[in-house]
Amino acid sequence: MRRAVYPGTFDPITNGHLDILRHVVGLFDEIIVGVLHNPAKHPLFTVDERVEFAREATQGYANVSVASFSGLLVDFCRARDASYIVRGVRNPADLQVEMQMAQMNESLYPEVHTLFVPASPALSFVSSSLVKDIASHGGSVRAFVSDVVNDALVRRIGQNGANAEG
Ligand code: PNS
């Protein structure tokens, strides 16, 4: 069984994340989207909301499941018997950070290898942080997230940026 974890904060999941998933979905028997539960990061959405968005966005893939995790990513991989970590790379700055994390993860748990997937050029500028920033200033993010996430952003942040810092 070739099993991978696609980890992230996913606050919220974007079309950029889904683009990465689309590229690897055929490579593995099973992919677990691992949503990091880390309240210290003060995410906009709760872990349950982020898991729900990810489930809704990936429901078309029979071999993709979604679960939350806390603690070390390698411990989650070990518990799920996953040999691969999938990470999207949008630019050289991403690669620099991701390389270090991949090497650290592999030194902590040599049975796991990280697969870097270059973002599609049309989506390489999309990030959850920018999406939230744009939404908080009343901009439209419809092109970058699913309808469900878009509606949730409008509800949480407000169409004209009310409670944007919350
Ligand atoms: O989407 P993000 O926020 O870039 O994802 C980062 C994530 C969740 C992959 C990373 O923060 C992580 O793996 N956190 C779990 C704790 C951990 O294992 N830290 C050591 C990484 S070398």
Question: What pLDDT digit, counting tens, does each position of 118-134 carry?
Answer: 999 999 999 999 999 99
Distance from residue 13's CA to the centre of ligand 1 (Å): 15
Kindly give, in sequence order, each residue whose CB lies less than 8 Å from that of residue 136, ignoring residues fewer than 6 positions away.
157, 161, 164, 165
Distance from residue 57's CA to the centre of ligand 1 (Å): 21
Instruction: List the CATH code of the domain at 3-123.
Output: 3.40.50.620
Residues that constitute the known binding site for substrate? 9, 41, 73, 87
Tokens standing for 5?
A: 């974890």
DSSP state of 1: -
Residues that constitute the known binding site? 9-10, 17, 41, 73, 87-90, 98, 123-129
Asked if residues 3 and 25 have their Cβ atoms less than 8 Å apart, the reply is no
pLDDT tens digits, one per residue of 106-121: 999 999 999 999 999 9
159: confidence class by pLDDT, cuts 50, 70, 90: low
| Cα separation values, 139 from 2, 12, 56, 63, 75, Å | 41, 16, 23, 34, 39
Give the pLDDT confidence score for residue 41 in this predicted structure: 87
CB atoms within 10 A of CB 142: 13
Q: What percent of the chain has pLDDT over 90?
A: 92
Q: Is 8 in the pocket of ligand 1 (CB under 6 A)?
A: yes
Using a cut of 0.85, tell me whether the model's pTM lies above it.
yes
